[in-house]
């Protein structure tokens, strides 16, 4: 599964605000539940359970919350931008501004890991991180992700 195929403007949420990681994940779950045809509580609970195992805040203002979720048949990617930053217990202690949320069917573990790996590769490059953070519209953020994936050969 290629990252470029998973990113869509209607799954990019900009200008969000939240007090903490829990409320940020709740906000994302509320926004996508109807689209996925699942209760927001199921999505929220799955993301929070994974987060309890250890923070998915990878540093430099980014997090990659992810979980396996019953009730979906294909991987879903949601991108959420919190311009004010939120405390997410990231590895570098910095607030998180941009989240790549990956929801995967439980029967697709290899594809799940592949998507996480692609996101991590993109986030290793400072110039690509800056491009992602500078995007001010959903279309611009989608274009930045697609550009980053091309640069990385993904």
Catalytic site positions:
66
Contact 91, 29 (CB under 8 A): no
CA atoms of 49 and 13, how far apart (whole Å): 22
CA atoms of 105 and 82, how far apart (whole Å): 26
10: how many CB neighbours lie within 10 A of its CB?
Answer: 10
CA atoms of 69 and 147, how far apart (whole Å): 28
C-alpha angle 77-17-145 in degrees, rounded to nearest 5: 30
**7, 10, 11, 12 alpha-carbon torsion, rounded to 10°:** 90
């Amino acid at each position: 599964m290629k990252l470029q195929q998973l990113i869509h403007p209607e799954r990019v949420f900009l200008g969000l605000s939240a007090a903490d990681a829990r409320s940020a994940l709740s906000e994302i779950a509320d926004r996508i539940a109807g689209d996925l045809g699942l209760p927001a509580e199921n999505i929220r609970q799955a993301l929070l359970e994974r987060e309890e195992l250890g923070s998915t805040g990878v540093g430099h203002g980014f997090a990659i919350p992810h979980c396996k979720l019953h009730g979906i048949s294909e991987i879903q990617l949601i991108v959420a931008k919190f311009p004010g930053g939120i405390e997410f217990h990231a590895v570098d202690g910095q607030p998180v501004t941009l989240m790549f949320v990956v929801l995967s069917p439980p029967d697709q573990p290899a594809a799940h890991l592949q998507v996480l790996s692609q996101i991590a590769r993109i986030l290793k490059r400072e110039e690509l991180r800056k491009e992602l953070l500078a995007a001010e519209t959903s279309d611009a953020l989608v274009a930045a992700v697609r550009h980053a994936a091309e640069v990385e050969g993904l």
